[in-house]
Amino acid sequence: MKFGFIGFGEVSYTLSKILLSYGFEVLTSTEGRSKKTKELVKSLDLIVLDSFEEVAQESDILISANSPQSALAVALKYGSLTQGIFLDFNNISPNTAKQIENYIGDDHFIDSSIMGRVSSEELHIYFSGRRAEEFVSNMRNFIRNNDAPSNVKVNIKVVSDEIGDVSKLKILRSSYTKGVSALLVETFETAEKLGLSGDLWEILSLTENMDFETSAKSRIDSSKKKSKRKYEELIEVLEFLDDVDKNRKSKIMAIATKEKFEKLKNRK
């Protein structure tokens, strides 16, 4: 079974290592990619093709892991070329997932997401769509027959046979986690101005948990480094909340969170 990746960042790199450890073939291309991406690809035993069109045509499972803003364009350009299954691991809205389904068809598209940190030692991957159960069953059978377990534990769950259900869960999770991150960033920006950040870390560690400072600092650092991507994801969040409820009161926090990440993005 051949897995192809359109785009090759942290998600693609992590999944490729796991897939290779189980004996799957992994394809990608470095067409138009940066030097950093080329080095990342070179570090793994991948099959590197001349173009992403070739990757799409040669793959049994084609994976898009780029950005929410480019997800639809990638699906339209490359997803339509695959004769196998197309998975989108971007943080897209249910509307975008439905658009991809309408273009590619539910025979070829499965709604998918990694819930949680990609760099974790335990990955939680969710799927929904008409062929999700079949796809997951085939994956489990292949892995079961290959005695080469990965160092990363992978938990797979099929949510439903409806395209969009995984995207809904992904968007709701994104709304919550980014809201918490924005509040953390803002709170400690103020604490630093007052010269009280050390004391505040101590107090919050007492009321939250002893590991709070380490995890919160990691979240703040990630929010600043990846502010552009998180801002783009929040646009998808607001699009989804608009569809659920036109009432502005249902998305006050999400709007404020988007504005905060927009400011962080513009500071770079």
Q: What's residue 117's pLDDT?
A: 79
208: containing domain: 170-267
Do 155 and 182 lie in a common domain? no
Q: pLDDT (tens digit, 9 = 90+) per residue, 95-137? A: 899 999 999 998 999 999 998 877 777 889 999 999 999 999 9
Query: Domains in the chain: how many in total?
Result: 2
Q: pLDDT (tens digit, 9 = 90+) per residue, 70-82? A: 899 999 999 989 8
Q: What's residue 160's pLDDT?
A: 96
Res. 143 pLDDT band, cuts 50 70 90: confident
Do 152 and 201 lie in a common domain? no
Can you give the CATH number for the domain in which 26 is found?
3.40.50.720
Among the candidates 160, 187, 217, a domain finishes at 160
Do 10 and 127 lie in a common domain? yes
Q: What's residue 150's pLDDT?
A: 60
Q: What's residue 67's pLDDT?
A: 82
Res. 149 pLDDT band, cuts 50 70 90: low
Do 7 and 102 lie in a common domain? yes
Do 115 and 153 lie in a common domain? yes
In a domain, 165, yes or no: no
In a domain, 130, yes or no: yes
Q: pLDDT (tens digit, 9 = 90+) per residue, 20-38? A: 888 889 999 988 888 888 8
Q: What's residue 248's pLDDT?
A: 64
In a domain, 234, yes or no: yes
Q: pLDDT (tens digit, 9 = 90+) per residue, 225-249? A: 999 989 988 988 888 888 887 766 7
| Res. 209: pLDDT tops 90 | no
Q: What is this structure's pTM?
A: 0.83
| Res. 158: pLDDT tops 80 | yes
Do 64 and 155 lie in a common domain? yes
Res. 2 pLDDT band, cuts 50 70 90: very high
Can you give the CATH number for the domain in which 183 is found?
1.10.1040.10
In a domain, 95, yes or no: yes
Q: What's residue 206's pLDDT?
A: 92
Tokens of 127: 């799927």
Among the candidates 108, 138, 160, a domain finishes at 160
